[in-house]
Chain A
Amino acid sequence: MADYLLALVQTAVLLALAPLLTGIIRKLKAWMQSRRGPPIFQPYLDLAKLMRKGSVVSQDASWLTSLTPYVCLASMVVAALLVPAFVTESFGFLGDLIVLVYLFAMARFFMALAALDAGSTFGGMGSSREMLVSSLIEPAILLSFFTVALLTGTTSLVSVTSLLATSGASLIGPALLLAFAAFFIAILAENARIPIDNPSTHLELTMIHEAMLLEYSGKDLALMEYSSMVKLTLFITIAWSAFLPWGVATQVTAPDLALGVIIFLVKLLALALVIAIIESSMAKLRLFRLPNLLTGAFILAFLAVMSYFVL
């Protein structure tokens, strides 16, 4: 019983930290571009403001438009239940790594449908591009998950994390590092970050993710934005827990837990810093050059699986 309580606390921490992480990335980017930037708690205030406002829905939109924000949020919350962050306890019996991939896919599917629903041209463009990106990056994610599944002999994320964390450094090899690299490109692609998409753009012709949210306002917009913040946090957490989980608490004792929490926060900040550096130093790729990068991610994951068999 205490285990599940701990898992619930962990999920709550993940859900509560998500806007803060987005705020920190924005602040880091602002510093790198010599701006002062908004305070790191700004995303909470933005979400609170949006939640108080009513939403305007196009008269041509069907029930899909009002259902989608809840589907997106629900799939992110369920995914958050499955991911071990600082302790290897979670509701892992609900689903494994593959369920996780398809929870994200379901959110994306509904988002793309809702963008088409109101019949605006930008929405259609956004969802067509989103589907292009996701069809190219999903094989890479699955292959990099298969790498760790082969290494540990299980597809359950909690077991993967605890097996990797308790085994020594001997498992750190080309397979894990290549899979981590592939998954890192997947983080950028799945969360609409530069160089795949620009999260702060409002130039219609280049938007992918933002174009799908154009029709949303008020409370619905808040739910959609919050679920993409949670998604980013989840992807960063999965990158560490599935591929390089060293430092996570495998036993429920106070010192282990404290260490686990500290290391988890450091890991989050580390990847946030890397993302901020990439976003400040690179330009967005042209849409037709995206397949080069995304196929690159697929090949990295493929090499990871291959080096498991060969080496």
Chain B
Amino acid sequence: MAEINLNLINGLAAMVLLAAFILVATGRLRTMVRVFAWQSLALGLLAAAVAYSTGYWHIYVVAALTIVLKALIIPRIIDQIMDRIQVANDVEPSVRTPSSLLIAGGMAILAYYVAEPLIQSGETITAGALALSLAVVLIGLFIMISRKKAITQVIGLLVMENGLFMAALSLSYGMPLIVELGVFFDIMVAVLIMGVFVFRINRTFETLDTSFLRRLKD
């Protein structure tokens, strides 16, 4: 039973990383939002599996919040923003897809190299997921840097947050509940504010391409 549960946790952690790679590989905004929702769902299930095998009830709360907020509500908000401003569905990367994928692979190696000593001394059952979560954080950052549209930068930030959440989960079975609630509230407000920003950028420049923001200097 314990072994199957550990396999499940590892499998879900691998799915979170795989989703990050699919986010880099895809060329469509709508797919990115869907894949982000699936990633959050996998993360929520991962948290639930960790809660089941450790018996800490507060992780169940966090798991439920992750699934409701990040897998359902936030994707819906982003979809609505995209409907309202009629944004074109393609991603407009500034680094081409094959090179992006290889860079993301390099980041995964870097994350493993950095996290390896921590994994060796880790005591939690999920310590192996630390390298994967660091990789997810780095890939989220890379999505923010290398994709031009404002929407993709919002998604990149959310992916980074998913990675941080998984890192906290794998190192210390999550943060205290009050901190987690604060983070969720933060994310929610951040997405709403960024939604307004995206809307304003689109109104001012009639595009979501953030490279136009360089014109703001006088």
On whether the two chains bind one another, the answer is yes
- The one of B11, B13, B104, B112 in contact with A299, judged by C-beta atoms closer than 8 angstroms, is B104
Contact A295 B102 (CB under 8 A): yes
Contact A174 B97 (CB under 8 A): no
Interfacial chain B residues near A296, Cβ < 8 Å: 21, 25, 101
Cα–Cα distance between A169 and B27 once the two chains are bound (Å): 36
Contact A292 B131 (CB under 8 A): no
Interfacial chain B residues near A311, Cβ < 8 Å: 10, 13-14, 128-129, 132
* CB neighbors of B among A140-174 (8 A): 170, 172-174
Interfacial chain B residues near A302, Cβ < 8 Å: 105, 108
Cα–Cα distance between A173 and B13 once the two chains are bound (Å): 11
Cα–Cα distance between A248 and B71 once the two chains are bound (Å): 40
Interface flags for A292-304 (1: CB within 8 Å of B; 0: not) read 1001101110110
CB closest residue in chain B, given A181 = B18
- The one of B18, B98, B112 in contact with A310, judged by C-beta atoms closer than 8 angstroms, is B112
Interfacial chain B residues near A41, Cβ < 8 Å: none
Q: A173-B10, A178-B14 are in contact. Are A306 and B109 (CB under 8 A)?
A: yes
Interface flags for B70-101 (1: CB within 8 Å of A; 0: not) read 00000000000000000000000000011001
Q: A173-B11, A302-B105 are in contact. Are A178 and B25 (CB under 8 A)?
A: no
Shortest C-beta distance, B104 to chain A (Å), equals 7
With an 8 A cutoff between CB atoms, is A307 at the interface?
yes
Contact B7 A170 (CB under 8 A): yes
Instruction: Describe A's contact surface by its main secondary structure.
Output: helix
- The one of A174, A291, A292, A303 in contact with B21, judged by C-beta atoms closer than 8 angstroms, is A303
* CB neighbors of A among B129-172 (8 A): 129, 131-132
Contact B128 A310 (CB under 8 A): yes
With an 8 A cutoff between CB atoms, is A31 at the interface?
no
Contact B10 A292 (CB under 8 A): no
Cα–Cα distance between A299 and B17 once the two chains are bound (Å): 11
Which among B14, B108, B109 has the greatest number of chain A C-beta atoms within 10 A? Answer: B14
Cα–Cα distance between A295 and B167 once the two chains are bound (Å): 27
Cα–Cα distance between A303 and B104 once the two chains are bound (Å): 11
Q: A292-B25, A311-B13 are in contact. Are A299 and B105 (CB under 8 A)?
A: yes
Cα–Cα distance between A89 and B26 once the two chains are bound (Å): 42
Cα–Cα distance between A170 and B98 once the two chains are bound (Å): 34
- The one of B7, B101, B104 in contact with A173, judged by C-beta atoms closer than 8 angstroms, is B7
Q: A302-B105, A311-B13 are in contact. Are A292 and B98 (CB under 8 A)?
A: yes
Shortest C-beta distance, A96 to chain B (Å), equals 26
With an 8 A cutoff between CB atoms, is B218 at the interface?
no
Contact A303 B18 (CB under 8 A): yes
Cα–Cα distance between A233 and B18 once the two chains are bound (Å): 29
Cα–Cα distance between A307 and B105 once the two chains are bound (Å): 12
Interfacial chain A residues near B15, Cβ < 8 Å: 174
Interfacial chain B residues near A172, Cβ < 8 Å: 7
Contact B3 A170 (CB under 8 A): yes
Interfacial chain B residues near A177, Cβ < 8 Å: 11
Cα–Cα distance between A174 and B91 once the two chains are bound (Å): 29
Contact B25 A174 (CB under 8 A): no
Which among A177, A303, A309 has the greatest number of chain B C-beta atoms within 10 A? Answer: A303
Cα–Cα distance between A23 and B3 once the two chains are bound (Å): 43
Interface flags for B1-20 (1: CB within 8 Å of A; 0: not) read 00100010011011101100
Cα–Cα distance between A173 and B10 once the two chains are bound (Å): 8
CB closest residue in chain A, given B109 = A306
Cα–Cα distance between A303 and B132 once the two chains are bound (Å): 10
Interfacial chain A residues near B18, Cβ < 8 Å: 178, 300, 303
Cα–Cα distance between A170 and B11 once the two chains are bound (Å): 12
Shortest C-beta distance, A72 to chain B (Å), equals 30
Shortest C-beta distance, A157 to chain B (Å), equals 25
Interfacial chain A residues near B21, Cβ < 8 Å: 296, 299, 303
Contact B14 A174 (CB under 8 A): yes
Interfacial chain A residues near B104, Cβ < 8 Å: 299
Q: A295-B97, A296-B101, A306-B109 are in contact. Are A174 and B11 (CB under 8 A)?
A: yes
Interfacial chain B residues near A292, Cβ < 8 Å: 25, 27, 97-98, 101
Contact B128 A295 (CB under 8 A): no
**Can you list 21 pairs linking A and B with CB atoms under 8 Å apart?**
A170-B3, A170-B7, A172-B7, A173-B10, A174-B10, A174-B11, A174-B15, A177-B11, A291-B97, A292-B101, A295-B98, A296-B21, A299-B101, A299-B105, A302-B108, A303-B14, A303-B108, A306-B108, A309-B112, A311-B14, A311-B129
A-B contact sample (10 more), CB < 8 A, given A173-B7, A292-B98 = A173-B10, A292-B25, A292-B27, A295-B101, A296-B21, A296-B25, A299-B102, A300-B18, A310-B131, A311-B10
**Ranked 4 nearest A-B pairs via Cβ:** A174-B14, A295-B98, A311-B10, A291-B98
On A, residues with C-beta under 8 Å from B are 170, 172-174, 177-178, 291-292, 295-296, 298-300, 302-303, 306-307, 309-311
